[in-house]
A and B are shown apart, each in its own frame.
Chain A
Amino acid sequence: MSATIETLVNKEYQYGFVTDVDTDTIPPGLTEETVRLISKKKEEPEWLLEWRLKAFRRWQTMTEPTWPNVSYEPIDYQAHTYYSAPKSVKPLQSLDEVDPELLKTYEKLGISLTEQKRLAGVAVDAIFDSVSVGTTMKEELAKAGVIFCSFGEAVREHPELVQKYLGSVVPYSDNFFAALNSAVFSDGSFVYVPKGVKCPLELSTYFRINAANTGQFERTLIVADEGASVSYLEGCTAPKRDEHQLHAAVVEIVALDRATVKYSTVQNWYAGDSEGKGGIYNFVTKRGKAFTDAKISWTQVETGSAITWKYPSVILQGDNSVGEFYSVAVVNGKQQADTGTKMIHIGRNTRSTIISKGISAGQGQNSYRGQVKVLPKAAGARNYTQCDSMLIGNRCGAHTFPYIEVANNSATLEHEASTSKIGEDQIFYCKARGLNAEHAISLIVAGFCKEVFKELPMEFALEAQQLLGISLEGSVG
């Protein structure tokens, strides 16, 4: 039986094409000179170069973490290229100037950057390799005072905001990959929502790695000022290549008093072939800081990448702040995922919710790693954690590593965990009602993931549905 199930879950990766564009690519290798070169190419101010250099020097003293439950060949950081940009991307006045080849790439990925066909109600920033190729609907956002642009543009146009918040949630010294990112990050997205403004559109960044042997190191900074709210979506794909590619991103979210930020990811980087050849190494640091009465919610659907190392976290700094983490992580073939969250309760009456759904198929290994930490002053803190694993076939694995530290007696923590297996019986039951095996698995998996999918914005719920090859209609919401 497992053989049939596995062929059904093993769908061809449909975003594996390569775009042929002229690129400005620097030679492989990473030295202080590389960092200076990247900064120069981006025409950055002195303070940012200094920050990068501090990060680089710190990185040189650090070692790669070995605690994740994943295994891979050592990475030769000198063999990677740290900057690659399509030549045609100069500072653009409008999207009409974007290389048609790039527009076609995004069309093929289902993301239209052209004004007439754009998604209603969604503004998109498209990142191709190291740079942003265009951001849509800027004028409409500007009317509301919302800033949504590439990171490079933010450094030029809004340096005071960038300087104030960059590294304020994830310091350059935070961890090995965050330090690497801080030294060499190329581009990314920047969002600022002013006081009391509810962002009128969904904001979306679409990341695409194209160039070979090139790492992608983007940096996203989202600041929601007091009483502001915004929903942000992130999607990722990459071509099929036989070599592993490195993706080490950093996302920082600042939710000031009473602000709400919802961050959703559908991660579908190339996962490598069934033998484990190629695929993206996805080593990502994502963290938000929630001030008084603020709320930060992470929702992620992780289906791609050869290795995923990712713990979107919330520092519950202010009193009554709320942190949420909803996750579906799927591993198949030889994929490995070590993912989860950290909820750090600092303020009083802080609340956090963690719902994690891990699905393992093929020879995939899926680990949930989560930390809930309640500091001495966090009186009345509450956490609810639910961590479910589903196994498809006999050769995969599911692992759970919860860490709970409580330093305040008035805190309430709940942890529930379950492991189930898609059984012959469930599939036969569906078949006996006229559904074929593929439909049956879709249905069972959709049911399993329901609590997470209902957190996704509509556009992404549809993408997640396509991704898992499942129909969500009716089983969502």
Chain B
Amino acid sequence: MLKITNLHASAGEKEILKGISLTVNAGEVHAIMGPNGSGKSTLAQVIAGHPGYEVTSGTIEYDGQDLLELEAEERAQAGVFLAFQYPIEIPGVTNAYFLRAAYNEIRKAHNQPELDPIEFLDVMEEKLKVVEMDASMMQRSVNAGFSGGEKKRNEILQMAVLEPKLAVLDETDSGLDIDALRIVAEGVNKLKRPDNATILVTHYQRLLNYIVPDHVHVLAGGRIIKSGGKELALELEAKGYDWLLEPVPA
């Protein structure tokens, strides 16, 4: 589904990703771990098409298309979803309106009829349950005045509504208390299907107690320095990152 080959990307003059290769198949969950500043979030943003990063070489193939050729909104319409590490506030625009606008853009891109607000209510009712959110949240402005946990749950709600093929969760576990973490993780698990895939970007192993990955990759200095199965995450938890980092020149 996703094939990243020798990807290099920079922010301004600074090269952050220095040759990433990664293949993700349908039905798989991949965890990208690594110390702060290793390029994890950059990778997530580059996949989603953030204009602040320039891809200097390498390719990303998604569903047989050249992903780098697509605008960010076209990627979203094609089923790529990024759950933001720091979800953005849009004052004055209700969550319900924003979600329906996004939902309808994606339907339009697939030549499906748009839903009116009443029809959309039915879709919402079911999706709210996935993240145990109250319907009153829908009338609040997008992320404005939300607590950290509410913002993250709201990201997963959006994911539930938009039903992406490829979901990239950027540090969705950071800043969550244990209950919120459980709700978010259960939400992600409920949304898992054989035809979609998930990339979890995380600093800590604890999220992986709830969402069990098929593959774990360690990113450091803009490169994947080690890949393995779910047991790698436990090893990292026990030993930290340092034992892996030593061979990498400073």
Contact = CB atoms under 8 A, between A and B. Distances in A.
Nearest to B78: A434
A426 B49 contact: no
A446 B92 CA distance: 7
A424 B51 contact: yes
Interface in B80-113: 81-82, 84, 87-88, 90-94, 96-98, 100-102, 105-106, 109
A473 interface: yes
Given A429-B84, A474-B117, A448 B49 contact: no
Contact of A474 (B49, B94, B106, B109): B94
Nearest to A447: B92
A437 B105 CA distance: 12
B97 to A, nearest CB: 4
Contacts of A450: 92-93
Interface string B141-153: 1000000000000
B141 A447 contact: yes
A14 interface: no
B166 interface: no
A425 interface: yes
Interface in B195-241: none
Interface residues on B, range: 20 to 34
B72 A439 contact: no
Contacts of B52: 424
A82 B96 CA distance: 52
Contact of A431 (B71, B90, B106, B158): B71
A475 B100 CA distance: 11
A435 interface: yes
B48 interface: yes
A428 interface: yes
Nearest to B161: A433
B193 interface: no
A339 B9 CA distance: 47
B93 A475 contact: yes
Given A443-B98, A450-B92, A474-B100, A434 B77 contact: yes
B129 interface: no
Given A439-B105, A474-B100, A474-B117, A432 B72 contact: yes
Contacts of B77: 434
Nearest to A433: B102
B92 to A, nearest CB: 3
B73 interface: yes
Contacts of B88: 425-426, 428-429
B50 A428 contact: yes
Contacts of A428: 50-51, 72, 88
Interface string A1-38: 10000000000000000000000000000000000000
B16 interface: no
A434 B90 contact: no
B17 interface: no
Contact of A434 (B50, B51, B84, B105): B105
A435 B99 CA distance: 10
A142 to B, nearest CB: 40
A471 B114 CA distance: 15
B94 A475 contact: yes
Given A1-B51, A433-B158, A448 B101 contact: no
Interface string A393-436: 00000000000000000000000000000001110111111111
A111 interface: no
A437 B74 CA distance: 11
A446 B93 contact: yes
Contacts of A95: none
Given A424-B52, A428-B50, A447-B141, A435 B92 contact: no
Contact of B98 (A432, A433, A436): A433
A300 to B, nearest CB: 18
B7 interface: no
A444 interface: yes
Contacts of B101: 433, 435, 439, 443, 471
Contact of A429 (B75, B87, B141): B87
Interface of A: 1, 424-426, 428-437, 439, 443-444, 446-451, 471, 473-475
Interface of B: 48-52, 71-73, 75-77, 81-82, 84, 87-88, 90-94, 96-98, 100-102, 105-106, 109, 117, 141, 158, 162
28 contacts: A424-B52, A425-B88, A428-B88, A429-B90, A430-B90, A431-B49, A431-B71, A431-B72, A431-B76, A432-B48, A432-B49, A432-B75, A432-B81, A433-B73, A433-B101, A434-B76, A434-B77, A435-B105, A436-B105, A439-B101, A439-B105, A446-B93, A447-B90, A447-B91, A448-B92, A451-B92, A474-B97, A474-B100
Given A433-B102, A434-B77, 13 more contacts: A425-B88, A426-B88, A428-B51, A429-B84, A431-B72, A432-B82, A433-B105, A435-B101, A443-B90, A443-B93, A446-B92, A448-B92, A471-B101
